[in-house]
Chains A and B, each alone.
Chain A
């Protein structure tokens, strides 16, 4: 069974640009969450989407946004990139009605120059 697919895997941007990351969940998983991982701050929750609606949001500025489509695929967008946005962005998906186990994708590694 296919896992969580994230694209692109690696990208380099410059300050002020914007970036869009994509996540395709495991079949049957309707909840998609996004996390940022950095050496300094560790793993931090960005937001969660279910049925095309944002259910939860972490403590990130409004430059970070996301959306979910009817097929459960999700995108996140970061506008006006800052150097501190360099991180591994991880997508995690789950069914909603069982143990709630989260399965993570391989991540998108963003470098901001």
Chain B
């Protein structure tokens, strides 16, 4: 059974600092997703990682995938307050379906 675990679950950081969120998954997956959720809002798709070694960047966020280690990372560079949100990773377990298994989420708080 596919399990997805994120750490840390809560992250408080100062503006301008760098940090990494880790996402481990337990079985082979074809796709690894990262989503952002603001309080009371829906999930916004950030990245879809499809293959080993995939790296995608958007602004201050960069995501990577190591399928051998079953690990994805979301790196935050020079954090700004607007990045404060909850970040979820999710894997599909090689099902190529709409069934995703989500991690617990990492709540990021960026302080001015």
Contact = CB atoms under 8 A, between A and B. Distances in A.
A19 B99 CA distance: 23
A104 B97 contact: no
Interface stretch (B11-19, B39-47, B59-67, B70-78): B39-47
B79 interface: no
B41 A106 contact: yes
Interface in A66-112: 90, 92-94, 99-107
B98 A56 contact: yes
Given A48-B97, A56-B98, A42 B42 contact: no
A27 B88 CA distance: 26
A45 interface: yes
B95 A56 contact: yes
Nearest to A4: B42
B33 interface: yes
B98 A101 contact: no
Given A99-B31, A99-B48, A106-B42, A42 B104 contact: yes
Contacts of A102: 33, 45, 98, 100
Interface of B: 31, 33, 35, 41-45, 48, 50, 88, 90, 92, 95-102, 104-105
14 contacts: A32-B98, A33-B97, A33-B98, A43-B90, A44-B102, A45-B100, A56-B95, A56-B98, A56-B99, A58-B99, A90-B42, A99-B31, A106-B41, A107-B42
Task: Pick the 7 closest A-B CB pairs, nearest first.
Answer: A33-B98, A43-B102, A48-B98, A104-B43, A56-B99, A104-B42, A106-B42
Given A55-B97, A94-B98, 11 more contacts: A42-B102, A43-B90, A43-B105, A44-B102, A45-B99, A50-B98, A90-B42, A92-B98, A100-B48, A102-B98, A102-B100
